[in-house]
Homo-oligomer: A and B are copies of this chain.
Amino acid sequence: MKLRVALAQINPTVGDLVGNAALITKYTNDAVSASADVIVFPEMVLTGYPVEDLAMRVSFRSASKKALAQLVTALDPAIVSVVGYLDESPNGAPQNRVAVIYGSNVVATYTKRHLPNYGVFDEFRNFVPGDSSLVVRVKGVDIGIAICEDIWHSLADLAARKPGVVLVPNGSPYERNKDDVRLALVQKRAREVGAPLAYVNMIGGQDDLVFDGDTIVVDAQGTVISRAAQFEDQLLVVDIEAGTQSSQPDVVISESGTEAAGTIAPVIAQRLSDDQEIWNALVMGLRDYVAKNKFRSVVVGLSGGIDSALVAAIAVDALGAKCVNGVAMPSKYSSDHSVEDATALAASTGIHFRTVAIEPMVQSFMQSVTLKGVAAENIQARVRGTTLMGISNQEGHLVLATGNKSELAVGYSTLYGDAVGGFAPIKDIYKTDVWALARWRNEQAISRGESAPIPVRSIEKEPSAELRPDQKDSDSLPEYELLDQLLIRYVDGDEGSAALIAAGFDSALVMRVIGLVDKAEYKRRQYPPGTKVSARAFGKDRRLPMTSRWSEA
Protein backbone atom coordinates (compact mmCIF):
# COMPACT_ATOMS: atom_id res chain seq x y z
CA MET A 1 0.00 0.00 0.00
CA LYS A 2 1.33 3.43 -0.91
CA LEU A 3 0.76 5.73 2.05
CA ARG A 4 1.25 9.40 1.26
CA VAL A 5 2.82 11.07 4.30
CA ALA A 6 3.37 14.80 4.69
CA LEU A 7 6.08 15.89 7.09
CA ALA A 8 5.72 19.47 8.26
CA GLN A 9 9.17 20.92 8.92
CA ILE A 10 7.97 24.19 10.40
CA ASN A 11 8.91 26.90 12.88
CA PRO A 12 6.58 27.12 15.87
CA THR A 13 7.04 29.68 18.67
CA VAL A 14 7.07 28.74 22.34
CA GLY A 15 3.85 29.73 24.01
CA ASP A 16 2.15 31.01 20.87
CA LEU A 17 -0.77 28.60 20.91
CA VAL A 18 -2.85 30.69 18.51
CA GLY A 19 -0.03 31.27 16.02
CA ASN A 20 1.14 27.67 16.13
CA ALA A 21 -2.41 26.39 15.63
CA ALA A 22 -2.74 28.63 12.59
CA LEU A 23 0.52 27.26 11.20
CA ILE A 24 -0.64 23.69 11.81
CA THR A 25 -3.93 24.41 10.07
CA LYS A 26 -2.22 25.96 7.06
CA TYR A 27 0.18 23.07 6.60
CA THR A 28 -2.60 20.55 7.05
CA ASN A 29 -4.54 22.24 4.28
CA ASP A 30 -1.43 22.12 2.09
CA ALA A 31 -1.09 18.40 2.84
CA VAL A 32 -4.71 17.83 1.90
CA SER A 33 -4.06 19.66 -1.37
CA ALA A 34 -1.18 17.27 -1.96
CA SER A 35 -3.56 14.33 -1.34
CA ALA A 36 -1.59 13.18 1.68
CA ASP A 37 -3.12 10.50 3.88
CA VAL A 38 -1.27 11.59 7.00
CA ILE A 39 0.51 14.74 8.13
CA VAL A 40 3.04 14.64 10.95
CA PHE A 41 4.21 17.70 12.87
CA PRO A 42 7.26 18.13 15.10
CA GLU A 43 7.28 17.39 18.82
CA MET A 44 5.06 19.70 20.91
CA VAL A 45 4.39 21.83 17.84
CA LEU A 46 1.27 23.32 19.33
CA THR A 47 3.03 24.78 22.40
CA GLY A 48 6.45 25.23 20.82
CA TYR A 49 9.46 23.48 22.25
CA PRO A 50 11.07 23.39 24.76
CA VAL A 51 8.53 24.96 27.09
CA GLU A 52 10.74 24.33 30.15
CA ASP A 53 8.94 24.98 33.46
CA LEU A 54 5.85 26.28 31.66
CA ALA A 55 5.01 22.57 31.57
CA MET A 56 4.45 22.71 35.31
CA ARG A 57 1.80 25.42 35.14
CA VAL A 58 -1.73 24.13 35.39
CA SER A 59 -2.95 27.15 33.45
CA PHE A 60 -0.58 26.50 30.56
CA ARG A 61 -1.51 22.84 30.38
CA SER A 62 -5.17 23.79 30.33
CA ALA A 63 -4.50 26.26 27.55
CA SER A 64 -2.65 23.62 25.54
CA LYS A 65 -5.49 21.14 25.92
CA LYS A 66 -8.03 23.79 25.00
CA ALA A 67 -5.99 24.85 21.97
CA LEU A 68 -5.84 21.22 20.85
CA ALA A 69 -9.59 20.83 21.22
CA GLN A 70 -10.11 23.93 19.06
CA LEU A 71 -7.57 22.74 16.54
CA VAL A 72 -9.32 19.39 16.17
CA THR A 73 -12.41 21.13 14.87
CA ALA A 74 -10.36 23.39 12.58
CA LEU A 75 -8.39 20.69 10.80
CA ASP A 76 -9.64 19.04 7.63
CA PRO A 77 -11.40 15.88 8.89
CA ALA A 78 -10.32 13.83 5.89
CA ILE A 79 -6.61 13.69 6.73
CA VAL A 80 -4.94 12.04 9.70
CA SER A 81 -2.94 14.69 11.59
CA VAL A 82 -0.32 13.81 14.17
CA VAL A 83 0.09 16.87 16.40
CA GLY A 84 2.41 17.24 19.40
CA TYR A 85 1.17 19.17 22.42
CA LEU A 86 1.31 19.39 26.22
CA ASP A 87 -1.15 17.29 28.14
CA GLU A 88 -1.52 15.67 31.54
CA SER A 89 -1.45 12.21 33.04
CA PRO A 90 -4.64 10.98 34.73
CA ASN A 91 -3.30 12.33 38.04
CA GLY A 92 -2.49 15.73 36.59
CA ALA A 93 1.24 15.49 35.82
CA PRO A 94 2.58 17.14 32.66
CA GLN A 95 3.19 14.91 29.65
CA ASN A 96 4.80 15.36 26.25
CA ARG A 97 2.21 13.89 23.92
CA VAL A 98 0.97 13.63 20.36
CA ALA A 99 -2.67 13.46 19.37
CA VAL A 100 -3.74 11.49 16.30
CA ILE A 101 -6.55 13.57 14.86
CA TYR A 102 -9.04 12.36 12.29
CA GLY A 103 -12.65 13.19 11.43
CA SER A 104 -12.62 16.13 13.83
CA ASN A 105 -11.74 13.87 16.74
CA VAL A 106 -8.70 12.83 18.70
CA VAL A 107 -8.74 9.12 17.89
CA ALA A 108 -5.58 8.18 19.81
CA THR A 109 -2.70 9.66 21.78
CA TYR A 110 0.88 8.64 22.39
CA THR A 111 3.02 9.90 25.28
CA LYS A 112 6.80 10.21 25.03
CA ARG A 113 8.36 7.35 26.94
CA HIS A 114 12.03 8.31 27.11
CA LEU A 115 12.70 11.73 28.61
CA PRO A 116 16.12 13.27 27.95
CA ASN A 117 17.62 14.82 31.07
CA TYR A 118 21.14 15.61 29.94
CA GLY A 119 22.83 18.41 28.00
CA VAL A 120 20.25 21.15 27.46
CA PHE A 121 17.33 18.88 28.31
CA ASP A 122 15.39 18.82 31.60
CA GLU A 123 12.54 16.56 30.56
CA PHE A 124 12.65 14.35 33.60
CA ARG A 125 12.05 17.57 35.54
CA ASN A 126 9.23 18.75 33.32
CA PHE A 127 7.34 15.63 32.28
CA VAL A 128 6.16 12.25 33.43
CA PRO A 129 6.87 9.56 30.83
CA GLY A 130 4.28 7.47 29.03
CA ASP A 131 4.33 3.73 29.37
CA SER A 132 2.83 2.21 26.26
CA SER A 133 3.33 2.00 22.52
CA LEU A 134 0.71 3.04 20.00
CA VAL A 135 -0.25 1.56 16.65
CA VAL A 136 -2.99 3.17 14.55
CA ARG A 137 -4.31 1.65 11.33
CA VAL A 138 -4.76 4.05 8.41
CA LYS A 139 -5.89 2.65 5.05
CA GLY A 140 -4.79 -0.74 6.35
CA VAL A 141 -1.27 0.47 7.20
CA ASP A 142 -0.38 0.04 10.86
CA ILE A 143 1.39 3.22 11.95
CA GLY A 144 3.61 3.15 15.02
CA ILE A 145 4.64 6.35 16.76
CA ALA A 146 7.73 7.35 18.73
CA ILE A 147 8.76 10.83 19.94
CA CYS A 148 12.35 12.08 19.59
CA GLU A 149 14.33 10.61 22.52
CA ASP A 150 12.29 7.39 22.19
CA ILE A 151 14.35 6.45 19.12
CA TRP A 152 17.63 6.98 20.99
CA HIS A 153 16.60 3.85 22.87
CA SER A 154 15.54 0.47 21.55
CA LEU A 155 12.16 0.28 19.84
CA ALA A 156 12.02 -3.46 20.47
CA ASP A 157 8.50 -3.39 21.92
CA LEU A 158 7.20 -1.45 18.95
CA ALA A 159 9.12 -3.74 16.60
CA ALA A 160 7.42 -6.72 18.19
CA ARG A 161 4.07 -5.25 17.17
CA LYS A 162 5.21 -5.18 13.53
CA PRO A 163 3.97 -1.76 12.41
CA GLY A 164 3.94 -1.06 8.68
CA VAL A 165 5.54 2.36 9.15
CA VAL A 166 6.88 4.43 12.05
CA LEU A 167 6.33 8.19 12.43
CA VAL A 168 8.66 10.18 14.68
CA PRO A 169 7.95 13.80 15.68
CA ASN A 170 11.06 15.59 16.98
CA GLY A 171 12.35 18.67 18.70
CA SER A 172 16.01 17.96 18.04
CA PRO A 173 18.32 20.97 18.42
CA TYR A 174 21.11 21.58 15.96
CA GLU A 175 24.67 20.63 16.79
CA ARG A 176 27.64 20.40 14.48
CA ASN A 177 27.66 17.04 12.70
CA LYS A 178 24.43 15.97 14.38
CA ASP A 179 22.82 15.33 11.00
CA ASP A 180 25.15 12.39 10.46
CA VAL A 181 24.30 10.98 13.88
CA ARG A 182 20.60 11.42 13.24
CA LEU A 183 20.67 9.67 9.88
CA ALA A 184 22.53 6.68 11.29
CA LEU A 185 20.06 6.49 14.17
CA VAL A 186 17.01 6.74 11.94
CA GLN A 187 18.43 3.97 9.73
CA LYS A 188 19.18 1.77 12.73
CA ARG A 189 15.64 2.10 14.10
CA ALA A 190 14.02 1.45 10.72
CA ARG A 191 15.99 -1.77 10.47
CA GLU A 192 15.17 -2.69 14.08
CA VAL A 193 11.46 -2.25 13.48
CA GLY A 194 11.65 -3.61 9.94
CA ALA A 195 9.53 -0.81 8.56
CA PRO A 196 9.95 2.56 6.85
CA LEU A 197 10.51 5.41 9.30
CA ALA A 198 9.59 9.06 8.82
CA TYR A 199 11.40 11.53 11.08
CA VAL A 200 10.17 15.12 11.20
CA ASN A 201 12.00 17.90 13.05
CA MET A 202 11.18 21.56 13.55
CA ILE A 203 13.24 24.54 12.48
CA GLY A 204 13.80 27.85 14.20
CA GLY A 205 15.52 29.52 17.11
CA GLN A 206 14.44 29.32 20.74
CA ASP A 207 16.71 31.21 23.15
CA ASP A 208 20.05 29.42 22.91
CA LEU A 209 18.77 26.54 20.80
CA VAL A 210 18.25 26.40 17.09
CA PHE A 211 16.45 23.61 15.27
CA ASP A 212 17.70 22.65 11.85
CA GLY A 213 14.91 20.49 10.51
CA ASP A 214 16.73 17.73 8.63
CA THR A 215 13.51 15.77 8.22
CA ILE A 216 14.30 12.28 6.93
CA VAL A 217 12.36 9.34 5.49
CA VAL A 218 14.02 5.94 5.15
CA ASP A 219 12.70 2.59 4.01
CA ALA A 220 12.79 -0.59 6.09
CA GLN A 221 16.37 -1.22 5.00
CA GLY A 222 17.41 2.27 6.10
CA THR A 223 17.83 3.61 2.59
CA VAL A 224 17.02 7.31 2.41
CA ILE A 225 13.84 7.92 0.45
CA SER A 226 13.57 11.61 1.09
CA ARG A 227 15.30 14.30 3.12
CA ALA A 228 14.36 17.94 3.62
CA ALA A 229 16.63 20.94 3.29
CA GLN A 230 18.20 22.13 6.54
CA PHE A 231 16.97 25.34 8.19
CA GLU A 232 14.07 25.79 5.76
CA ASP A 233 10.30 25.71 6.11
CA GLN A 234 9.17 22.73 4.11
CA LEU A 235 6.24 20.39 3.70
CA LEU A 236 7.97 17.21 2.67
CA VAL A 237 5.43 14.92 1.01
CA VAL A 238 6.52 11.33 0.50
CA ASP A 239 4.91 8.22 -0.91
CA ILE A 240 5.84 5.37 1.40
CA GLU A 241 5.33 1.78 0.32
CA ALA A 242 4.16 0.01 3.47
CA GLY A 243 2.75 -3.38 4.39
CA THR A 244 -0.86 -3.59 5.53
CA GLN A 245 -2.63 -5.39 8.36
CA SER A 246 0.77 -6.23 9.85
CA SER A 247 -0.07 -5.48 13.48
CA GLN A 248 -2.80 -5.58 16.09
CA PRO A 249 -3.61 -1.87 16.08
CA ASP A 250 -4.89 -0.01 19.13
CA VAL A 251 -7.14 2.06 16.92
CA VAL A 252 -8.45 1.51 13.41
CA ILE A 253 -9.09 4.66 11.43
CA SER A 254 -9.57 2.84 8.13
CA GLU A 255 -9.04 -0.80 7.14
CA SER A 256 -8.35 0.10 3.55
CA GLY A 257 -8.48 2.96 1.14
CA THR A 258 -7.59 4.25 -2.24
CA GLU A 259 -4.01 5.21 -2.91
CA ALA A 260 -3.41 8.87 -3.70
CA ALA A 261 -3.28 9.55 -7.43
CA GLY A 262 0.07 10.08 -9.09
CA THR A 263 3.50 9.73 -7.61
CA ILE A 264 5.48 12.27 -5.66
CA ALA A 265 9.01 12.45 -6.97
CA PRO A 266 11.15 11.91 -3.90
CA VAL A 267 13.27 14.89 -2.85
CA ILE A 268 16.64 14.41 -1.24
CA ALA A 269 17.99 17.85 -0.44
CA GLN A 270 21.73 18.24 -0.61
CA ARG A 271 23.53 18.55 2.75
CA LEU A 272 25.01 21.92 3.52
CA SER A 273 28.74 22.23 3.97
CA ASP A 274 29.87 22.37 7.61
CA ASP A 275 30.53 26.11 7.38
CA GLN A 276 27.23 26.82 5.67
CA GLU A 277 25.38 24.74 8.23
CA ILE A 278 26.90 26.64 11.15
CA TRP A 279 26.33 29.95 9.39
CA ASN A 280 22.68 29.14 8.82
CA ALA A 281 22.34 28.09 12.45
CA LEU A 282 23.79 31.40 13.66
CA VAL A 283 21.66 33.40 11.26
CA MET A 284 18.44 31.58 12.17
CA GLY A 285 19.21 31.64 15.89
CA LEU A 286 19.66 35.41 15.83
CA ARG A 287 16.79 36.11 13.46
CA ASP A 288 14.33 34.18 15.58
CA TYR A 289 15.52 35.60 18.90
CA VAL A 290 14.96 39.07 17.44
CA ALA A 291 11.65 38.33 15.75
CA LYS A 292 10.09 36.11 18.39
CA ASN A 293 10.90 38.71 21.05
CA LYS A 294 9.36 41.39 18.84
CA PHE A 295 12.49 43.40 18.20
CA ARG A 296 12.97 44.87 14.72
CA SER A 297 16.59 45.86 14.77
CA VAL A 298 19.92 45.34 16.48
CA VAL A 299 22.89 47.45 17.50
CA VAL A 300 26.46 46.22 17.71
CA GLY A 301 29.67 47.88 18.78
CA LEU A 302 32.22 47.71 15.96
CA SER A 303 35.83 47.61 17.11
CA GLY A 304 37.34 46.97 13.71
CA GLY A 305 38.15 43.48 14.96
CA ILE A 306 36.93 40.18 13.65
CA ASP A 307 34.39 39.27 16.34
CA SER A 308 32.22 42.33 15.94
CA ALA A 309 32.62 42.20 12.16
CA LEU A 310 31.40 38.63 12.06
CA VAL A 311 28.47 39.40 14.35
CA ALA A 312 27.49 42.31 12.11
CA ALA A 313 27.70 40.09 9.03
CA ILE A 314 25.48 37.46 10.69
CA ALA A 315 23.03 40.18 11.66
CA VAL A 316 22.91 41.48 8.10
CA ASP A 317 22.14 38.01 6.79
CA ALA A 318 19.54 37.51 9.52
CA LEU A 319 17.75 40.85 9.41
CA GLY A 320 18.94 42.84 6.42
CA ALA A 321 21.40 45.72 6.55
CA LYS A 322 18.69 48.29 7.22
CA CYS A 323 17.95 46.67 10.57
CA VAL A 324 21.56 46.64 11.75
CA ASN A 325 23.23 49.55 13.52
CA GLY A 326 26.99 49.65 13.96
CA VAL A 327 28.64 51.93 16.46
CA ALA A 328 32.39 52.58 16.52
CA MET A 329 33.48 53.74 19.97
CA PRO A 330 37.15 54.60 19.70
CA SER A 331 39.29 55.47 22.69
CA LYS A 332 42.75 56.98 22.86
CA TYR A 333 44.17 53.47 22.69
CA SER A 334 42.29 52.57 19.55
CA SER A 335 44.52 52.10 16.55
CA ASP A 336 43.82 54.06 13.38
CA HIS A 337 42.65 50.94 11.64
CA SER A 338 39.95 50.34 14.28
CA VAL A 339 37.60 52.99 12.99
CA GLU A 340 38.77 52.51 9.41
CA ASP A 341 37.92 48.83 9.46
CA ALA A 342 34.59 49.44 11.20
CA THR A 343 33.81 52.05 8.55
CA ALA A 344 34.83 49.65 5.80
CA LEU A 345 32.54 46.97 7.22
CA ALA A 346 29.65 49.40 7.36
CA ALA A 347 30.32 50.42 3.77
CA SER A 348 30.56 46.89 2.45
CA THR A 349 27.41 45.71 4.26
CA GLY A 350 25.34 48.87 4.05
CA ILE A 351 24.43 48.96 7.74
CA HIS A 352 23.74 52.15 9.66
CA PHE A 353 26.91 53.43 11.19
CA ARG A 354 27.94 56.08 13.68
CA THR A 355 30.93 56.92 15.81
CA VAL A 356 30.81 57.83 19.48
CA ALA A 357 34.18 58.70 20.99
CA ILE A 358 34.34 57.40 24.52
CA GLU A 359 37.16 59.59 25.81
CA PRO A 360 34.92 62.23 27.45
CA MET A 361 33.00 59.62 29.43
CA VAL A 362 36.15 57.70 30.33
CA GLN A 363 37.78 60.93 31.52
CA SER A 364 34.78 61.85 33.63
CA PHE A 365 35.08 58.50 35.42
CA MET A 366 38.83 58.83 35.79
CA GLN A 367 38.35 62.21 37.42
CA SER A 368 35.76 60.98 39.87
CA VAL A 369 37.14 57.58 40.86
CA THR A 370 40.71 56.35 41.24
CA LEU A 371 41.15 53.75 38.49
CA LYS A 372 44.40 52.17 37.40
CA GLY A 373 45.53 49.10 35.51
CA VAL A 374 42.73 46.63 34.84
CA ALA A 375 40.22 48.91 36.56
CA ALA A 376 41.04 51.64 34.04
CA GLU A 377 40.91 49.18 31.14
CA ASN A 378 37.52 47.93 32.22
CA ILE A 379 36.09 51.43 32.46
CA GLN A 380 36.58 51.80 28.72
CA ALA A 381 34.71 48.58 28.03
CA ARG A 382 31.91 49.58 30.43
CA VAL A 383 31.55 53.04 28.92
CA ARG A 384 31.09 51.29 25.58
CA GLY A 385 28.55 48.91 27.08
CA THR A 386 26.63 51.78 28.64
CA THR A 387 26.74 53.71 25.36
CA LEU A 388 25.28 50.76 23.45
CA MET A 389 22.59 50.22 26.07
CA GLY A 390 21.75 53.92 25.93
CA ILE A 391 21.31 53.74 22.16
CA SER A 392 19.28 50.57 22.61
CA ASN A 393 16.97 52.17 25.17
CA GLN A 394 16.61 55.31 23.08
CA GLU A 395 16.05 53.67 19.68
CA GLY A 396 14.72 50.23 20.52
CA HIS A 397 17.45 48.03 19.03
CA LEU A 398 18.50 44.77 20.64
CA VAL A 399 22.17 44.95 21.68
CA LEU A 400 24.33 42.13 20.36
CA ALA A 401 27.28 40.96 22.45
CA THR A 402 30.27 40.00 20.34
CA GLY A 403 32.17 37.59 22.59
CA ASN A 404 33.36 34.28 21.17
CA LYS A 405 33.68 30.95 22.95
CA SER A 406 37.43 31.22 23.49
CA GLU A 407 37.01 34.53 25.32
CA LEU A 408 34.09 33.30 27.35
CA ALA A 409 36.03 30.21 28.29
CA VAL A 410 39.02 32.05 29.71
CA GLY A 411 37.09 35.06 31.01
CA TYR A 412 38.71 37.47 28.54
CA SER A 413 35.84 39.92 28.65
CA THR A 414 34.55 42.71 30.85
CA LEU A 415 31.32 42.15 32.74
CA TYR A 416 28.88 44.96 31.89
CA GLY A 417 31.37 46.08 29.26
CA ASP A 418 31.77 44.11 26.05
CA ALA A 419 29.58 41.48 27.73
CA VAL A 420 26.41 43.60 27.54
CA GLY A 421 23.67 42.49 25.24
CA GLY A 422 20.38 40.72 24.78
CA PHE A 423 21.88 38.07 22.53
CA ALA A 424 25.39 36.84 21.80
CA PRO A 425 25.40 35.29 18.31
CA ILE A 426 28.91 33.80 18.36
CA LYS A 427 29.27 32.80 22.01
CA ASP A 428 29.54 29.13 21.02
CA ILE A 429 32.12 29.75 18.25
CA TYR A 430 35.80 29.40 19.10
CA LYS A 431 38.09 32.15 17.85
CA THR A 432 39.73 29.98 15.19
CA ASP A 433 36.25 29.17 13.87
CA VAL A 434 35.39 32.87 13.95
CA TRP A 435 38.21 33.45 11.48
CA ALA A 436 37.24 30.44 9.39
CA LEU A 437 33.61 31.52 9.17
CA ALA A 438 34.61 35.05 8.23
CA ARG A 439 36.81 33.78 5.41
CA TRP A 440 34.11 31.39 4.30
CA ARG A 441 31.43 34.11 4.27
CA ASN A 442 33.64 36.39 2.21
CA GLU A 443 34.37 33.60 -0.25
CA GLN A 444 30.66 32.89 -0.55
CA ALA A 445 30.05 36.51 -1.40
CA ILE A 446 32.82 36.61 -3.95
CA SER A 447 31.66 33.38 -5.58
CA ARG A 448 28.21 34.96 -5.97
CA GLY A 449 29.71 38.10 -7.48
CA GLU A 450 28.97 40.17 -4.37
CA SER A 451 31.44 42.23 -2.42
CA ALA A 452 32.93 40.52 0.60
CA PRO A 453 31.21 41.84 3.74
CA ILE A 454 34.11 41.52 6.16
CA PRO A 455 37.24 43.67 5.71
CA VAL A 456 40.26 41.47 5.09
CA ARG A 457 42.29 43.47 7.59
CA SER A 458 39.76 42.61 10.31
CA ILE A 459 40.43 38.96 9.60
CA GLU A 460 44.18 39.25 9.33
CA LYS A 461 45.12 41.71 12.07
CA GLU A 462 46.45 40.46 15.34
CA PRO A 463 43.66 40.27 17.93
CA SER A 464 43.65 43.04 20.51
CA ALA A 465 41.20 44.39 23.06
CA GLU A 466 42.88 47.83 22.65
CA LEU A 467 42.29 48.76 26.28
CA ARG A 468 45.88 49.88 26.82
CA PRO A 469 48.72 50.97 24.49
CA ASP A 470 49.83 48.26 22.05
CA GLN A 471 47.85 45.57 23.88
CA LYS A 472 47.58 42.19 22.14
CA ASP A 473 45.47 39.19 23.15
CA SER A 474 48.68 37.18 22.95
CA ASP A 475 50.09 39.24 25.85
CA SER A 476 47.86 37.34 28.23
CA LEU A 477 46.65 34.34 26.27
CA PRO A 478 48.37 31.63 24.23
CA GLU A 479 47.91 31.74 20.47
CA TYR A 480 44.30 30.91 19.65
CA GLU A 481 45.22 27.93 17.46
CA LEU A 482 46.71 26.28 20.53
CA LEU A 483 44.24 27.65 23.06
CA ASP A 484 41.24 26.42 21.10
CA GLN A 485 42.61 22.91 20.80
CA LEU A 486 42.97 22.82 24.56
CA LEU A 487 39.55 24.37 25.21
CA ILE A 488 37.76 21.93 22.93
CA ARG A 489 39.10 19.09 25.01
CA TYR A 490 38.61 20.70 28.41
CA VAL A 491 35.27 22.48 27.90
CA ASP A 492 33.54 20.36 25.27
CA GLY A 493 35.27 17.09 26.10
CA ASP A 494 35.47 17.29 29.92
CA GLU A 495 39.02 15.96 29.78
CA GLY A 496 41.07 16.43 32.93
CA SER A 497 44.59 17.84 33.20
CA ALA A 498 46.24 14.43 33.19
CA ALA A 499 44.53 13.51 29.93
CA LEU A 500 45.43 16.86 28.40
CA ILE A 501 49.07 16.57 29.33
CA ALA A 502 49.10 12.98 28.09
CA ALA A 503 47.73 14.31 24.79
CA GLY A 504 50.87 16.41 24.44
CA PHE A 505 49.93 19.84 25.76
CA ASP A 506 52.51 21.62 27.84
CA SER A 507 51.64 21.08 31.49
CA ALA A 508 52.16 24.70 32.55
CA LEU A 509 49.88 25.80 29.72
CA VAL A 510 47.26 23.25 30.69
CA MET A 511 47.31 24.39 34.31
CA ARG A 512 47.11 28.06 33.36
CA VAL A 513 44.24 27.66 30.91
CA ILE A 514 42.25 25.35 33.17
CA GLY A 515 42.66 27.82 36.00
CA LEU A 516 41.36 30.65 33.79
CA VAL A 517 38.35 28.62 32.66
CA ASP A 518 37.42 27.56 36.17
CA LYS A 519 37.67 31.08 37.56
CA ALA A 520 35.46 32.65 34.88
CA GLU A 521 32.28 30.73 35.68
CA TYR A 522 30.72 33.76 37.41
CA LYS A 523 31.21 35.87 34.28
CA ARG A 524 29.60 33.27 32.03
CA ARG A 525 26.65 33.07 34.37
CA GLN A 526 25.75 36.68 33.62
CA TYR A 527 26.47 36.49 29.89
CA PRO A 528 23.62 36.85 27.39
CA PRO A 529 22.19 33.79 25.63
CA GLY A 530 23.47 32.82 22.21
CA THR A 531 23.03 30.08 19.67
CA LYS A 532 24.37 26.66 20.61
CA VAL A 533 26.18 24.93 17.77
CA SER A 534 28.57 22.67 19.67
CA ALA A 535 27.94 19.54 21.67
CA ARG A 536 28.76 21.50 24.85
CA ALA A 537 27.76 25.13 24.81
CA PHE A 538 28.17 27.42 27.79
CA GLY A 539 24.81 27.80 29.50
CA LYS A 540 22.40 25.05 30.44
CA ASP A 541 24.55 22.52 28.63
CA ARG A 542 27.31 22.92 31.22
CA ARG A 543 26.16 23.51 34.77
CA LEU A 544 29.04 24.11 37.09
CA PRO A 545 29.18 25.74 40.50
CA MET A 546 30.62 29.26 40.61
CA THR A 547 31.83 28.64 44.14
CA SER A 548 34.28 25.77 43.75
CA ARG A 549 37.73 25.10 45.08
CA TRP A 550 38.13 22.21 42.66
CA SER A 551 40.95 22.73 40.29
CA GLU A 552 43.18 20.38 38.43
CA ALA A 553 45.51 23.29 37.91
Contact = CB atoms under 8 A, between A and B. Distances in A.
Given A122-B122, A526-B527, 8 more contacts: A51-B545, A54-B544, A59-B497, A122-B125, A207-B545, A365-B387, A378-B390, A383-B386
Nearest to A52: B543
A177 interface: no
A486 to B, nearest CB: 15
Contact of A528 (B17, B51, B420, B526): B526
A548 B422 contact: no
Given A124-B124, A378-B390, A379-B390, A550 B416 contact: no
A396 to B, nearest CB: 10
A141 B510 CA distance: 50
A420 to B, nearest CB: 6
A471 interface: no
- Chain B CB within 10 A, most for which of A62, A378, A544: A544
Interface stretch (A145-153, A194-202, A355-363): A355-363
16 contacts: A13-B547, A14-B548, A15-B548, A17-B550, A19-B549, A48-B548, A63-B550, A207-B546, A288-B547, A360-B367, A361-B368, A375-B390, A379-B386, A525-B528, A529-B546, A540-B543
Given A368-B361, A548-B54, A386 B387 contact: no
B386 A494 contact: no
Chain A to chain B: the 4 pairs with minimum beta-carbon distance, closest first: A59-B496, A15-B550, A375-B393, A16-B549
- Chain B CB within 10 A, most for which of A15, A62, A540: A15
A507 interface: no
Contacts of A372: 394
A545 B379 contact: no
B378 A365 contact: no
A496 B58 contact: yes
Nearest to A500: B59
Given A17-B550, A57-B494, A117-B117, A386 B382 contact: yes
Interface in A338-397: 356-358, 360-361, 363-365, 367-372, 374-375, 378-379, 382-383, 385-387, 389-391, 393-394
Interface in A211-243: none
A298 to B, nearest CB: 14
A549 B375 CA distance: 41
Contact of A118 (B52, B125, B358, B495): B125
Interface size class, chain A: 35 or more
A293 B547 contact: yes
Interface in A530-553: 540, 542-552
A60 interface: yes
Contact of A14 (B387, B522, B542, B547): B547
A499 interface: yes
B494 A58 contact: yes
A180 to B, nearest CB: 24
A205 B363 CA distance: 40
A498 interface: yes
B364 A368 contact: no
A415 B388 CA distance: 12
Contact of A59 (B54, B368, B499): B499
Interface in A143-197: none
A42 interface: no
Contacts of A375: 390, 393-394
A289 interface: yes
A375 to B, nearest CB: 4
Interface string A1-15: 000000000000111
A292 interface: yes
A85 to B, nearest CB: 13
A289 B545 CA distance: 11
Contacts of A117: 117, 124-125
- Chain B CB within 10 A, most for which of A52, A415, A422: A415
B369 A394 contact: yes
A455 interface: no
A52 B364 contact: no
Nearest to A360: B364
A460 interface: no
B368 A292 contact: no
- Chain B CB within 10 A, most for which of A357, A361, A383, A422: A361
A56 interface: yes
A464 B551 CA distance: 44
Interface in A380-429: 382-383, 385-387, 389-391, 393-394, 415-416, 420, 422
B15 A549 contact: yes
A470 interface: no
Contacts of A304: none
A550 B206 contact: no
B390 A546 contact: no
A50 interface: yes
Interface string A496-515: 11110000000000000000
A494 B56 contact: yes
A53 interface: yes
Nearest to A394: B375
